[in-house]
Structure 1
Amino acid sequence: MVRLPLTAAEVERGRRLGALLRRARGDRPMLDVALAARVSPETLRKIESGRVATPAFPTVAAIAGVLGLSLDAVWAEINATAHEPVPAGGHQRRAR
């Protein structure tokens, strides 16, 4: 199977996902979060650094769950057109 190169948009979404997860993790050790999410610390490190721009959904869901992030907040963050970070608690104000 040949994997196509990532688009610029996919790379940017990966960068945003990594930044969100790093902010949400805060001072918690990477090892603790990775083990709680049942992923390797290296996988978490690669996602947080943007080196894995398109991680599997179950991986993202597990990490988000450990960090207390809603998947809606994760989706909103990585697909934001005008990048405004979602707070680490995972709540974002809705425009009225």
Structure 2
Amino acid sequence: MVRVPLTPSDRERGERLGRLLRDARAGRSIGDIAAAAGISAETLRKIETGRIPTPAFFTVSALAGALGLALDEIVVAIAPPVPEQHVARGA
């Protein structure tokens, strides 16, 4: 199976996800959150640093549960910014 290369947009979304997770962790250890989500601390570290920019849905879901985040909150937080011209017109 050939893996499709990530786009710059994919990488940026991964960076936004990493920032959101780091902020939500708020001083709690990577090990504690990873254990609560059922993943390795190294996997969480890679997601937080953007080295895994497109983690599996179930991984994100487990992290959301461990951090007390709603999935829709994550979707909104990692969505690409809306261009100003669309905001100005209300689109």
Q: Does the pair score TM above 0.5?
A: yes
Residue identity over aligned pairs, in percent, reads 57
Structure 2 residue aligned with 1:18: 18
Describe how 1:1-96 pairs up with structure 2 within 5 A. Answer: 1-81=1-81
**Structure with the largest fraction of helix:** 2
Report deviation, 1:63.
Answer: 0.4
In 2: Cα distance, 1:28 partner to 1:60 partner:
17
Give the AA of the match of 1:16.
R
In 2: Cα distance, 1:4 partner to 1:70 partner:
29
CA RMSD in angstroms, aligned pairs only: 0.8
Between structure 1 and structure 2, the one with the greater Rg is: 2
TM-score when normalising by structure 2: 0.87
In 2: Cα distance, 1:80 partner to 1:23 partner:
18
Over residues 57-95 of structure 1, what are the superposed CA-to-partner deviations in whole Å (9 max), with x where a residue is unaligned? 00000001110000001000111415xxxxxxxxxxxxx
Over residues 18-48 of structure 1, what are the superposed CA-to-partner deviations in whole Å (9 max), with x where a residue is unaligned? 0000000011010000001000000000000
Report deviation, 1:16.
Answer: 0.2
Give the AA of the match of 1:54.
T
In 2: Cα distance, 1:79 partner to 1:22 partner:
17
TM-score when normalising by structure 1: 0.83
Displacement over 6 Å in runs of 4+: none
* Structure 2: unaligned runs, 5 residues or longer: 83-91
In 1: Cα distance, 2:59 partner to 2:2 partner:
22
Give the AA of the match of 1:78.
I
